[in-house]
Amino acid sequence: MISVVSVDSMRISDAKTQTSGTSGRELMLRAGKAIYDSFEKKGKTAVLCGSGNNAGDGFVVAYLLAENGYECKIFLCSDRFSADGGYYFERCKEKGVPYVFCNGEEDFSSYAVVVDCLLGTGFKGKLSGLYAETVKRINESGAFVVSADINSGLNGDGGTGDVCVKSDLTVSIGFPKTGHFLGKAKDVIGRLINADIGIKLYGEEYKLLEKEDVKKVFPERKNYSHKGSYGYVGLIGGCTRYCGAPRLALHAAAAMRAGAGVVRLAVPESIKSAFFKEVTEATLFFLPDDGEGLVFDESALEEFLKGLTSITIGMGLGNGKDNLRILNYILHNFKGTVIVDADGLNAISRDLGVLKGRTCKNLIFTPHVKEFSRLSGYSAEEILAAPVEKAKEFASRYDVTVLLKGTATVVTDGKEVYLVDRGCPGMATAGSGDVLSGVLAGISGYNDPFDAEKVACGAFLNGFAGETAQRKINPVSMTASDTVNALADAVSEILKN
Q: How far is CA 433 from the centre of its chain?
A: 14
How do residues 227-270 score in pLDDT, each as one tens digit? 888 889 999 988 877 666 556 667 788 999 998 989 999 999 98
**Cα–Cα distance measured from residue 241 to residue 292, given in angstroms and rounded to the nearest whole number:** 7
Q: Is 57 left (phi over 0), alpha (psi -120 to 50) or beta?
A: alpha
The C-alpha atoms of residue 185 and residue 407 are separated, in whole angstroms, by: 8
Per-residue pLDDT of 204-227, as tens digits, reads 899 999 999 999 999 888 898 888
CA distance 181 to 215: 22
Task: Report residue 148: phi and psi, to 5°.
Answer: -85, 120
What are the backbone angles phi and psi of residue 17, rounded to the nearest 5°?
-65, -40
Find the range with the poorest average confidence among 77-81, 134-138, 174-178: 77-81
Classify 207 as helix, strand or coil. Answer: strand
pLDDT for 247 equals 67
Residue 261 CA, distance from chain mean position: 29
- pLDDT at position 158 is 93
Strand-pair partners of 48: 75, 116
Cα angle for residues 328, 333, 336 (degrees, 5° grid):
105
335-383 pLDDT tens trace:
999 999 999 999 999 999 999 999 998 999 999 999 999 999 999 999 9
Instruction: Identify the pLDDT of residue 243.
Output: 67
Whether a cis peptide bond, with omega within 30° of 0, leads into 219 is no
pTM of the model: 0.93
Alpha carbons 409 and 385: distance in angstroms, whole number: 14
Secondary structure of residue 253 in the 3-state scheme: helix
Cis peptide before 449 (omega within 30 of 0): yes
| Over residues 90-105, mean pLDDT | 95
Higher pLDDT, 276 or 29: 29
Q: Is the per-residue pLDDT at 273 higher than 90?
A: no
Q: What angle do CA 410, 235, 258 make, to 5 degrees?
A: 60
For all residues of the chain together, what is the average pLDDT? 93
**Residue 407 predicted with pLDDT over 80:** yes
* Nearest by Cα to 219 from 476, 30, 443: 443
CA 215 to chain centre: 19
Q: CA separation (Å) from 88 to 13, 14, 57, 85?
A: 22, 19, 8, 5
User: Cα 143 vs. chain centroid, distance in angstroms?
Assistant: 29
Q: How many CB atoms neighbour CB 18 within 10 A?
A: 15
Element (H, E) at 60: helix 53-67
A 10 A CB-CB count for 70 gives 16
Q: How far is CA 328 from the centre of its chain?
A: 30
State the DSSP code for 473. S
pLDDT digits (tens, 9 = 90+) for 277-320: 766 777 889 999 998 899 999 999 999 999 999 999 998 888 89
Residues 6+ apart with CB under 8 A from 356: none
Whether the pLDDT of residue 151 is over 60: the answer is yes
CB-side neighbour CA atoms (13 Å) of 82? 17
Torsion sign across C-alpha atoms 474, 478, 483, 486: negative
Cα 4 to Cα 174: distance, rounded to the nearest angstrom: 10
Residue 160 to residue 126: CA distance in whole angstroms: 9
CA distances to 148, 270, 389 from 184, rounded to whole Å, are 17, 43, 18
Phi, psi angle pair for 39, to nearest 5°: -125, 155
Q: State the pairing for strand pair 417-420/409-412.
A: antiparallel
Strands (E), 66-191: 72-76, 99-101, 113-117, 144-148, 169-173
Q: Cβ neighbours of residue 345 under 8 Å, at least 6 residues apart?
A: 314, 365, 366, 367, 371, 374, 375
The confidence score (pLDDT) of residue 229 equals 84
How far is the C-alpha of 365 from the C-alpha of 151, rounded, in Å?
A: 32
Say how far apart CA 294 and CA 321 lie, in whole Å.
8
Band (pLDDT 50/70/90 cuts) for residue 175 is very high
